[in-house]
Structure 1
Amino acid sequence: MTTERIEEEVEEAAFVLARHAVALTYADLPAGVAEMTSKTILDTTGVILPAATTSPEAKALADLVLDLGGKEEATLLGFGRKAPAWLAGYVNGAMANCQDFSDLHPDAAHISSPVLPAAIALAERQGDITGKDFITAVALGVDLQCRLTIAAGKPGGRMAPWHPAPLFGVFGAALACSKLLRLDENRTVDALGIAFTQAAGTHEIVFGKNSTIRGFGHAVPGEVGVRAALMAQAGISGVRRSFEGTHGLWNVYYQGDYDRDLLLGDLGIRYNVLDDGFKPWPSCAFTHVFIDMVRALRREHVFGPADVESVTVTVGDFARGQTEPLAEWRRPANPMLAKLSVPFTVATALQHGDVTIADYFDEKLTDPDVLAMADRIESRYDEQYDFVAGSGFPGGEIVIRLRDGRTLTREQPRAYGHPLVPMTWDGLIAKFKDCAGYAARPIPVEALDRAVAGFRDLESVDNVGDLFALLG
């Protein structure tokens, strides 16, 4: 059901969601949901770690928080220090997307990184959260993040100006934390209502080119989720009609235009996390199909970077904005723009055969070989690869002309890591260990192996706080 203005007699969505959250148990999760949620926990935890050394902004933020002092409740992942839980949630949330490496649902984008940092911080603070309880809480929060994003986007719809990670993430994080605190229905509604007061964020953080703050886009839910749940637990009441009130989320942000069935239908039955995807490469999803095609062509044909005469990439409307003007995108000004750049990323894949975290370090942005390769890349536009909200990330085409006269072509509808071409547990563990290698405080091999084993068998863990402490 799509509504233009929400009627007062409709039961407020916050109460429906809170009632469902309070009643849900681990045993209620449908087949596959616990395992996929465990994968998102492993993956999101891993991608937080590299920011400790690769993002100067993350280091500056961690220093600011540590300078504030306070009770040492939760780990700043990768730094080996602790801070009050909601501040740890903020820092870890800020770090979660610094590599542009977090999970990627084809219809709801980043669904775990807005939720997990808050859940981690509160679980450490509580000290008695089992793996099953943690999985259940995170599954709830991630499911709400998905439902809100998909209900707002609607298949075939236009991308809204609001950024779903911070806007909807405060609700997903607050719901997960409410579950961890075992709040009743009334207090859970309060937590959602408190989170509503800080629901904000537009896509300018993505498209603005003169700042590296894009990596911090998932920070606020990490703090707000913890704080909202703790405030509700303390008896502080929140807005009661945060979603469907006259001045609630849907009426104010979306003029009442959303799909209520996608938001509330089949609660406890339909879990969109089952369609989640994971990123094999630390760059914008719109570059991935091109990386994947380059790698495939290099496997199928014998050629090296010196053999490449010219390249043409065919892009849709969204990727076009990360390709043109070519002169600008061949020379990205900072690492965050480099991760968005189709020509720079394709050049990196052609030059090195793969794309890694280190390929976006500052010094790599002036690598003469990569830049020379980028200068050989041209682009063309084809509307069949346009982005349509609710239909997943589009494919693309590539033509590589070699100096020996060969022309190599490839077209793909999607990239490796998409749920139809999924990463395995082994692939996710390899990614996790690679990310862990960039932590500011070196993680001993034994501790890393214990952490991996714990995430792989998370439902058997007695206290997840001990697991995250291994990754300080």
Structure 2
Amino acid sequence: MNPDDLAEFVLGTPDVPESALDFAATLLIDTLGVTAGSARLDAGRIARDHAVRFLAAGTPAETATLLFDGRTASMPGAAFAAATQTDNLDAHDGFNPTKGHVGCAVVPALCALAESEPALSARDALTALAISYEVAARAALSLHATVSDYHTSGAWNALGVAALGARLRNLDADRLRQALGIAEYHGPRSQMMREIANPTMLHDGSGMGAFVGLTAVLLAEEGFEGAPAITVEADEVAERWGDLGQNWTVEQNYIKPYPICRWAHAAIDALGQLREEHGFAAHDVSAIDVNTFAEAAELFPGMPETTSHAQYSLAFALGALLVHGRIGPDQVTGKALSDPEIKAVVGKIQVSEDRRHSARFPEGRWSDVTVHLSDGRTMSSGDVNAKGGLETPLPHDAVKAKFLEMTRCLGHDRATAIWEMRDCLTEPDTRFAELLRLIHARPVT
């Protein structure tokens, strides 16, 4: 894409549809709910401690408060900590064609940057956020189309963070171009399928995506050069950027109902549908056959030793659903990881790739499930696409219920106050600082 045209979009006054701003507000609050819900996980604690010890700011003006913690670090350090924390509870939004996640990096970056801009209006913050979603999505599509490996979200959401930061810090067109080039060059070209095969706290690379993207902005601001970003400017990716400002992909992001890798959601939905229709329990099941797409078939197959294994699972997720009737944070942490009832179900599950499901990935996440009961009955779901996206969006009440479950650690009053900010963020007189005030202090439980 022509750098001047991109600069006009990122730094100018794009005509952001009201519906895009409204959904950006929902994505923002939903992501912050996941950040709160992951505050007690070891990955988040380690990332926050690391930011405080090793990524501190040089002056008070350059500090940012760690989300749901209260301590401070540099702006890149605070963004890294919150993005790493959020990334390690796999309940944040995503955009199917990117095979990854934008909000996990850009929301922490927005919160880190906005603290030094107390007069920033909520609408201006949402505009910057929506722009960052658009840039990150197209960087992802460009990267996936031009390299042989499947890289994690941090490799490309770093460019969304760079765009966000360039706008909020009033960089000019050349320094935006340099920031995007720096972010692309240093963004983590980490291997997604390695992490799927061996789940760890690295997760989807968004912690480093946020750190690199924000560092790129601050370096470019000082005159550091790093252009061009080839996933933006190369001729072979021009078509990926051709609809920028016309097709607002931020509205096409899905909201996850479960803290599990999106690839498993179709099978979860299919099994849940059968369970609701036929009323069977875990002890009634003799076998479960799952047909899914190739990538989902690679998810962790056994009983997890860590929450990272649990969140990148398929069989375990299905077992948790059958035993507990739901999949929330409590089902992917703590005692659930060694639950003997779940283990019994996991041993009855067979997962196979089906080429027709693979052909529909990444635009969709399709699976079908057949359940065999001990009384001889067999029931099949038919083909199911994961809910939460454009085809079957989560109802507003379901998004709210998810948020309140994720934020139980904050106490009812504080959680409710954060949720109610969603409707205020699009109002012209709301300052973004009103939201920041609610998301800095530690959880109460």
TM-score strictly above 0.5: yes
How far is 1:470 from its partner?
Answer: 0.8
Give CA-to-partner distance per residue, 1:353-387, whole Å, 9 cap, x none.
11111111143221111001111212333211115
Paired letter, 1:426: D
List runs of 5+ in structure 2 lacking aligned partners: 441-445
Name the CA distance, whole Å, in 2 between partners of 1:419 and 1:333. 34
SS at match of 1:103: coil
Among 51, 74, 81, the residue aligned to 2:64: 74
Alignment of 1:215-234 (within 5 A): 215=203, 217-233=205-221
Residue in 1 aligned with 2:139? 148
Would the aligned equivalents of 2:142 and 2:232 in 1 still touch at CA under 8 Å?
A: no
SS at match of 2:96: coil
How far is 1:335 from its partner?
Answer: 1.8
TM-score normalized by structure 1? 0.85
Paired letter, 1:94: T
Among 110, 115, 125, the residue aligned to 1:134: 125
Summarize the Cα distance change of 1:93–1:291 in structure 2 as closer, same or farther, 3 Å threshold. Answer: same
Residue in 2 aligned with 1:29? 16
Residue in 2 aligned with 1:360? 332
Name the CA distance, whole Å, in 2 between partners of 1:94 and 1:78. 13
Summarize the Cα distance change of 1:18–1:164 in structure 2 as closer, same or farther, 3 Å threshold. Answer: farther
Aligned length: 434
Q: Is 1:84 aligned with 2:74?
A: yes
Residue in 2 aligned with 1:9? none
How far is 1:136 from its partner?
Answer: 0.8
Deviates more, 1:167-176 or 1:186-195: 186-195
Summarize the Cα distance change of 1:311–1:257 in structure 2 as closer, same or farther, 3 Å threshold. Answer: farther
SS at match of 2:87: coil
Q: Is 1:450 aligned with 2:422?
A: no
Summarize the Cα distance change of 1:364–1:445 in structure 2 as closer, same or farther, 3 Å threshold. Answer: closer
Name the CA distance, whole Å, in 2 between partners of 1:423 and 1:296. 15
Name the CA distance, whole Å, in 1 between partners of 2:152 and 2:287. 38
Paired letter, 1:359: Q
Name the CA distance, whole Å, in 2 between partners of 1:368 and 1:180. 51
Paired letter, 2:173: E
Name the CA distance, whole Å, in 1 between partners of 2:330 and 2:220. 42
Would the aligned equivalents of 1:119 and 1:226 in 2 still touch at CA under 8 Å?
A: no
Among 159, 176, 189, the residue aligned to 1:171: 159
Summarize the Cα distance change of 1:181–1:462 in structure 2 as closer, same or farther, 3 Å threshold. Answer: farther
SS at match of 1:110: coil
Paired letter, 2:353: Y
Summarize the Cα distance change of 1:111–1:160 in structure 2 as closer, same or farther, 3 Å threshold. Answer: farther
Summarize the Cα distance change of 1:93–1:119 in structure 2 as closer, same or farther, 3 Å threshold. Answer: same
SS at match of 2:363: coil
Paired letter, 1:85: M
Name the CA distance, whole Å, in 2 between partners of 1:304 and 1:162. 38
Provide runs of 4+ in structure 1 moved above 4 Å: 208-211
Residue in 1 aligned with 2:370? 399
Among 224, 228, 234, the residue aligned to 1:241: 228
Summarize the Cα distance change of 1:232–1:21 in structure 2 as closer, same or farther, 3 Å threshold. Answer: same
SS at match of 2:47: helix
Would the aligned equivalents of 1:149 and 1:164 in 2 still touch at CA under 8 Å?
A: no
Would the aligned equivalents of 1:188 and 1:232 in 2 still touch at CA under 8 Å?
A: yes
SS at match of 2:244: coil
Residue in 2 aligned with 1:278? 255
Residue in 2 aligned with 1:437? 408
Q: Is 1:262 aligned with 2:262?
A: no
SS at match of 2:382: strand
Q: Is 1:418 aligned with 2:408?
A: no
Deviates more, 1:347-356 or 1:71-80: 71-80
Alignment of 1:295-310 (within 5 A): 295-310=272-287
Paired letter, 2:271: V
SS at match of 2:380: strand
How far is 1:48 from its partner?
Answer: 1.4
Residue in 2 aligned with 1:93? 83
Give CA-to-partner distance per residue, 1:266-316, whole Å, 9 cap, x none.
322111112111110000111111111122112211222221122111122
Would the aligned equivalents of 2:179 and 2:227 in 1 still touch at CA under 8 Å?
A: no
Residue in 1 aligned with 2:443? none
SS at match of 1:19: helix
How far is 1:345 from its partner?
Answer: 1.0
Among 285, 292, 299, the residue aligned to 1:322: 299
Would the aligned equivalents of 1:50 and 1:78 in 2 still touch at CA under 8 Å?
A: no
How far is 1:89 from its partner?
Answer: 0.6
Summarize the Cα distance change of 1:192–1:381 in structure 2 as closer, same or farther, 3 Å threshold. Answer: closer
Paired letter, 1:32: S
SS at match of 2:385: coil
Name the CA distance, whole Å, in 2 between partners of 1:176 and 1:426. 30
Q: Aligned Cα RMSD in Å?
A: 2.4
Give CA-to-partner distance per residue, 1:57-91, whole Å, 9 cap, x none.
22122122223454483232222333222210110
Greater relative contact order (CA < 8 Å, ≥ 6 in sequence): 1
Summarize the Cα distance change of 1:287–1:464 in structure 2 as closer, same or farther, 3 Å threshold. Answer: same
Among 341, 344, 369, the residue aligned to 2:341: 369
Summarize the Cα distance change of 1:240–1:320 in structure 2 as closer, same or farther, 3 Å threshold. Answer: closer
TM-score normalized by structure 2? 0.90
How far is 1:341 from its partner?
Answer: 1.8
How far is 1:45 from its partner?
Answer: 1.5
Name the CA distance, whole Å, in 2 between partners of 1:420 and 1:139. 21
